[in-house]
Amino acid sequence: MNKKIFVCDDNLVILEALVLILRMTDAMVVAESKSAKALNYIINEKPVIFICDLQMPGLNGEGLIRQIRAHNELNDLFILCISASYDARDIAINSGADYFLAKPFEINELLAVVNCVLVAGTC
């Protein structure tokens, strides 16, 4: 199991639920509730997939995605953004996310996207 999924959401209930769901894949799942710590982890550990919320205190998901996309060595990182905000899809895609799911989302849709990326490298 050398593929990693990194999840960042400030809502601990959602974060725990995502971890439980993602453990159904064959990837290692790592979670963080503080967005300020996410970039360093991503740079050092190079996960295959990064899943983040848009609405987080301090460094929000949009800013975090933009920081990630500013690093050329992270170009292959697949970013899946999740949010319940009204205009979140546009914000996520315009900031550099590869895919967006509106909260609440279907577990099967999340797993389909994640498994597609784990197998094919993109979706």
Residue 19 CB partners (closer than 8 Å, separation 6+): 7, 29, 31
Containing structural domain, residue 51: 4-120
pTM over 0.75: yes
pLDDT digits (tens, 9 = 90+) for 92-116: 999 999 999 999 899 999 999 999 9
CATH, residue 116:
3.40.50.2300
Q: Counting Cβ atoms within 10 Å, is residue 1 exposed (0-12), middle (13-18) or buried (19+)?
A: exposed
How far, in Å, are 60, 69, 80, 96, 118 from residue 3 at the CA level?
A: 25, 20, 16, 21, 7
What does the pLDDT look like over 40-80, one tens digit per residue? 999 999 999 999 999 999 999 999 999 999 999 999 999 99
